[in-house]
Amino acid sequence: MKRLLVGITGASGVIYGIRLLEVLRGVAGVETHLILSRGAATTLAYETDFTAQAVAALADVVHAHDNLAAAVSSGSFPVHGMVVVPCSMKTLAQIALSLGDNLLARAADVTLKERRKLVLVPRETPLHLGHLRHMTAVTEMGGVILPPAPSFYHDPRTIMDIVDQTVGKILDQLGIAHTLFHRWDGREG
């Protein structure tokens, strides 16, 4: 059983986190643990028809954002990896500075200290030097920065085709097979 921790913050792009949870529900041998920030619940209402309860229902286990005593706050609780999608700049800074004052930031810190896979999907543009420095710090600690930067060689027709390409890239980082988008197979020149 692979346990995967999914954090959804209040940054724009909550559909990426929702879609990741939807896809993982169909993957045998994966148990998802969700941490939904307070800001995420607000963004859900602006950007989707999902409620916080509906998103929570997509996960196997839900942990309260303010519960620092949750199992996932300890390195002794084994998880395969963690994805923060979307990752707000506030959450990025908390992770980069090891500020574990909420469960999402604490679980990310634990993921890094245990040398487990941490994937952050930052949703902000343009970026200033502080954002870039925090991304560098997380990368130096072993995290992966995976912005939702769509490719177009797979001929997306809908917004969900674009979302699926980013979700597929996240799954690639976690070593989970998928068919969410057509992979580049070269061109005859």
Domain definitions of the chain by residue range = 2-174
Chain-centroid distance of CA 126 in Å reads: 20
Residue 37, annotated ligand binder? Answer: yes
Number of H helices, E strands in the chain: 7, 6
CA distance to 9, 37, 44, 124, 142, per residue, from 48 (Å): 14, 16, 5, 18, 32
CATH code for the structural domain at 2-174: 3.40.50.1950
User: Binding residue per annotation — 141?
Assistant: no
Q: Is 158 annotated as a binding residue?
A: no
What would the two tokens of residue 37 be? Answer: 């920030």
pTM exceeding 0.75: yes
Cα dihedral 160→86→14→180 (10° resolution): 20
Query: Is 16 marked within a binding site?
Result: no
- pLDDT digits (tens), the chain, 189 positions: 999 999 999 999 999 999 999 999 999 999 999 999 999 999 999 999 999 999 999 999 999 999 999 999 999 999 999 999 999 999 999 999 999 999 999 999 999 999 999 999 999 999 999 999 999 999 999 999 999 999 898 899 999 999 999 999 999 999 999 999 988 888 766
25 assigned to a ligand binding site: no
